[in-house]
Structure 1
Amino acid sequence: MSTVVQPPSPSSSGPWPERVVVTGGSSGIGLGVARAFVEVGSTVGLIGRDRARLERAAATLDAGAAVVTAAADVRDEHEIGSAVDSLAEQLGGIDALVAAAGVDGEMGAPAAEVTAESFRGVLDINVVGAFLAVQRALPHLRRSPGASVTFIGSDSGFVAAPGMLAYNASKGALAQLTRALAVELFDDFGIRVNSVCPSITDTPLARAGLGVDSFDDVPYPVQTVDDVAWAVLSVASRRARAINGVNLLSDFGYTGRSSFPA
C-alpha cells in the first residue's frame, strides 16, 4: 500500500489556492467561479473553445487581477494539454483545477430519438473532457502542496427526468469519476478531488435548454452562479483539507424529499 501524502494544514499557507485554472471559463458557472477566485485574490487561467468569447469574458473580470487565457477544446488531448501547460507557465504553477466545461445535449428528446452522435458528444465533453483536463494538469498539481480538483457536476447525476438521457448519464459518470480520482490522487499525491452538484442554475445554457427567458416565475427554487461559485470556493479552500471524494449536492434539499404523496 502506498504512503498517503498528507495535505498541509491551513495554518501553513493562506486558505485559498493562489493559482487556479478553470475550464469552461467563457460564461455561466465557469466564469462565475473564476470571478469568485479573483475576488479572494487568486490568479486565474481561463480555458474556453472560442478565443474571442474567452477574451471578452476575461475582460469582465477585475482589470487589476492576474487573469490569463488559453483557447482549447477539452475533447482534444493536444489542445487541452497545450492550454494547461501554457497557463501553468504563465501562472507559475497550478494549485487548483476547476473543470466546468459542459453541455446538455438533446434536451427533451425521448430515448428512441437521441442520436448516438449526440449522446457521445455529451459524454465526450462532460466526462472525457473533465478527465483529460485533470490528466494534463496532474504534473503541475503534483508540485503544489494541498492541490485540489473540483468538477462541476449536477443533481442530475443522482436523480433523473425525462428528456435528459445523455446529460443524466454524463453527470452520473462524473460523480463516480470524482470518487475514483479522489482515492487514487489523494493516496499518491495528496491531491483532493471533489465535485459540486447544483440543481437548476440561472445560466444561458440552462435557459436555452429549458426554453425559458427567465426563471422569475418558476415553481421551484433556482440558484445563481454565485451560489455555485461559493460552494466551489469552499471545497477548494485549504481549510477543507479533509474534504475529499465528495459530490456536494447543492439543490435546496430536493433530492432528500420523499415521493410519498402527503
Structure 2
Amino acid sequence: MSFEDKVVLITGAAGGIGLATAKSFAKEGAKLALVDLNQETLEKAASTIDATDVLTLTANVAKEEEAKAYVEKTKEHYGRIDVFINNAGINGDYQFITDITEENIKKVLDVNVMGVFFGLKYVLQVMKEQKSGAVVNTASNGGWLGAPGMSAYVASKHAVVGITKSAALEGAQYGVRVNAVAPTAVDTDMMKRIESNTNPEDAAAAKKAIEASIPMGRYSTPEEIADLMVFLSSDKASFISGTYYRIDGGQSSTSA
C-alpha cells in the first residue's frame, strides 16, 4: 500500500487517531499536510513523524473560510490532494437532553458536522478537478448507537455517516471514493475525558464498564484505526465507496 509521492491531508492531526494515521501514512512514503487548532501542539506532533515533507496548518475546521484556506494552502504547496482524512472532532459536554445547553449542541455540531461538510466542500473540488482521490471521514459507533449524556455527539456522528453516503455518490463519476470509519472506544485523550464525564468520581470504573461492553474486552489503539484508514485510502480499496466500517472489537454484533 505504497503512498510514495501521494499527498495526504489530515484534520485533527495533533493527537490520537489523527497523529497515529499521519505516522502510518508517513511509513508508506506519503507527503503530509496536517491541520489542527494550535500551531505549537501541531509542530510538536509533527516532530514525532518520520516523513520527508510535512506541512503544518492551523485552522478551526468549523469556520468555512479557514477550511477553504487549509485546502488551498495544501494545494499550493503540493499541487494536489490524493487523500483526505476528515478526522477533526470533539465529544462535547456530558449532558442529558433535559439539561443540554444550546452552546453545547452548537459546539459539537459545528466541529463534527459543519467541519466535515466544509472540509469535503473544498477538498472534493480539488479531487474532482484531478479526477481522483480518496476520502475517509471519522464517524463512530455513535453513528448507529445511542449513548446517555452524549446526544449531541451521537447526532453528529449519525450525520457523518449520512454525509459520507451522499459525498460518495457525488464523487463517483470523478473517480473519487468516500468512506467512513466507525470506531468504538479508542485509547485517546478524548476517551479519557468521556470516562471522567461519565463517572467523575471514578473514571477507572467508567473505563471498566465501557470495556465490558466490547466483546474483545478492551479499547482499540489509535494505530488500529489508522491501519483501516490507510487501507481505505489505498488502491487495494479501489472499489469501496459510500460505506462505513465498524472497528469495534465485535461490539456491533450485539446491535442492528
Q: Give the TM-score normalised by structure 1.
A: 0.87
**1:80 alignment partner, one of 67, 72, 75:** 67
The answer as to whether partners of 1:156 and 1:171 remain within 8 angstroms in 2 is: yes
Question: Are residues 1:44 and 2:40 paired?
Answer: no
CA distance in 2, matches of 1:23, 1:239: 23
Q: After superposition, what is the alpha-carbon deviation per residue over 1:73-126, rounded to whole angstroms, capped at 9, x for unaligned?
A: 00111111111111222122100100110000112x211111111111111101
Which residue of the partner structure matches residue 218 of structure 2? 221
Q: After superposition, what is the alpha-carbon deviation per residue over 1:117-175, rounded to whole angstroms, capped at 9, x for unaligned?
A: 11111111011101101111123222445311100110111111211100110000100
Which residue of the partner structure matches residue 247 of structure 1? 244
Query: Partner of 2:93: helix, strand, or coil?
Result: coil
Question: Are residues 1:169 and 2:166 paired?
Answer: no
Q: Of the two structures, which has the highest relative contact order with CA contacts closer than 8 Å and spacing of 6 or more? A: 1
Letter in 2 for 1:175: V
Question: Are residues 1:106 and 2:103 paired?
Answer: no
CA distance in 1, matches of 2:8, 2:67: 15
The answer as to whether partners of 2:132 and 2:175 remain within 8 angstroms in 1 is: yes
CA distance in 1, matches of 2:147, 2:30: 37
CA distance in 2, matches of 1:209, 1:253: 21
CA distance in 2, matches of 1:125, 1:175: 15
Which residue of the partner structure matches residue 13 of structure 2? 25
Larger fraction in helix: 2
- Unaligned 5+ segments in structure 1 are 1-13
Query: Partner of 2:98: helix, strand, or coil?
Result: helix
Residues 238, 258 of structure 1: CA spacing in aligned structure 2 closer, same or farther, 3 A cutoff?
Answer: closer
Which residue of the partner structure matches residue 199 of structure 2? none
User: 1:1-262 alignment to 2 at 5 Å?
Assistant: 15-16=2-3, 18-62=6-50, 64-107=51-94, 109-187=95-173, 189-211=174-196, 212=203, 218-219=211-212, 220-257=217-254
The answer as to whether partners of 1:207 and 1:213 remain within 8 angstroms in 2 is: no
Residues 232, 258 of structure 1: CA spacing in aligned structure 2 closer, same or farther, 3 A cutoff?
Answer: closer
Which residue of the partner structure matches residue 3 of structure 1? none
Letter in 1 for 2:219: V
Residues 242, 15 of structure 1: CA spacing in aligned structure 2 closer, same or farther, 3 A cutoff?
Answer: farther
Which residue of the partner structure matches residue 200 of structure 2? none
The answer as to whether partners of 1:16 and 1:236 remain within 8 angstroms in 2 is: no
User: Following TM superposition, by how much is the alpha carbon of 1:34 offset from its aligned partner in structure 2, in angstroms?
Assistant: 0.8
- Unaligned 5+ segments in structure 2 are 197-202
Identity of aligned residues (%): 30
Residues 26, 49 of structure 1: CA spacing in aligned structure 2 closer, same or farther, 3 A cutoff?
Answer: same
Aligned pairs, how many? 243
State the Cα RMSD in Å. 1.9
Which residue of the partner structure matches residue 11 of structure 1? none
Q: Give the TM-score normalised by structure 2.
A: 0.89
User: Following TM superposition, by how much is the alpha carbon of 1:195 offset from its aligned partner in structure 2, in angstroms?
Assistant: 0.2
Query: Partner of 2:181: helix, strand, or coil?
Result: strand
